[in-house]
Amino acid sequence: MPLDELVITRAIMESYMDKFLASLDSDVAIVGAGPAGLVCAYYLARGGARVAIYERKLSVGGGIWGGGAMFNQVVIQEEAKGILDDLGINYMPYEREGGYYLVDAVELSCALGLKAVRAGVKIFNLFTVVDVKVSGQEERVSGLVLSWTPVELASLHVDPITVGAKYVVDGTGHDAEVARVIQEKLGKELNTPTGKVVGEKPMWAEFGEKSVPECTGEVYPGLFVIGMAATACYGTHRMGPVFGGMLLSGEKAAKMLLERLKG
């Protein structure tokens, strides 16, 4: 069968717009398709929520791909191994020490993305979140303001577009970018020790890994923080190429959000 270039273009544009318009007002909008964001999205979608992820980069997976110092293996601790089992991701124990499990970084990145998409999550890459949408007297977060990443990189004067969501999740990593919008543009206090994004502390893997799930939660009405964004907001320690806390953070946030959505 001969191929028609215009048919190819029309097929791509029509199907993309159908997907985007169906996600224009979702239950949960997640900013960042890193490990915490993908796990959160997967469990939310599996629980029946309508979920969209907006990722700045071309690929999903966040910091997983490079492993530690570009050695593309990552470590998962015992507490998070059940999530790997649940998602069917391969791992092997580190023979010299108990409680450490090695995962191929490429497999983990690909598997998390695939599982999320097959659960019904809509992932939109190359979108940068430039602001939040707020509503009501309390100025509750109720959506996101989006621009194409290439537009932002080129500093072009192009107005953004807006999407709605019942809840927004900040999975932007170390910078906690969405939480900082609340702090800097609204001048509102966050649910943190200082009322602001505290900023992460130096490396301390044991403490950092435990604190990530503990700090996961609603940091401002309508806005949840997960993964390294939670670390940055609450001022806990970074942990390097061990990802169990990220996975557990995503799972915890999904459970909390599903409870809210049911209510």
Domain boundaries, the chain: 26-63+106-262
Residue 148's Cβ-count burial label (10 Å; 0-12, 13-18, 19+) is middle
pLDDT score at 97: 81
Yes or no: say if 55 and 109 are a contact pair by the CB < 8 Å rule: no
Yes or no: say if 8 and 24 are a contact pair by the CB < 8 Å rule: no
Rounded CA gap, 5 and 45, in Å?
A: 35
Which letter, b or e, does each residue of 199-219 get, where b requires 16 or more Cβ atoms within 10 Å of its Cβ? ebbeeebeebbbbbbebbbbb
pLDDT score at 166: 98
Percentage of the chain modeled with pLDDT above 70: 100
Architecture of domain 26-63+106-262: 3-Layer(bba) Sandwich (3.50)
This prediction has a pTM of: 0.97
Reduced to 3 states, what is the DSSP secondary structure of residue 221? coil
Number of Cβ within a 10 Å radius of residue 91:
18
Phi, psi dihedral angles at 117 (to 5 degrees): -65, -45
- Encode pLDDT of 192-234 as tens digits: 999 999 999 999 999 999 999 999 999 999 999 999 999 999 9
Spatial CA neighbour of 183 closest among 219, 213, 142: 219
- Encode pLDDT of 50-85 as tens digits: 999 999 999 999 999 999 999 999 999 999 999 999
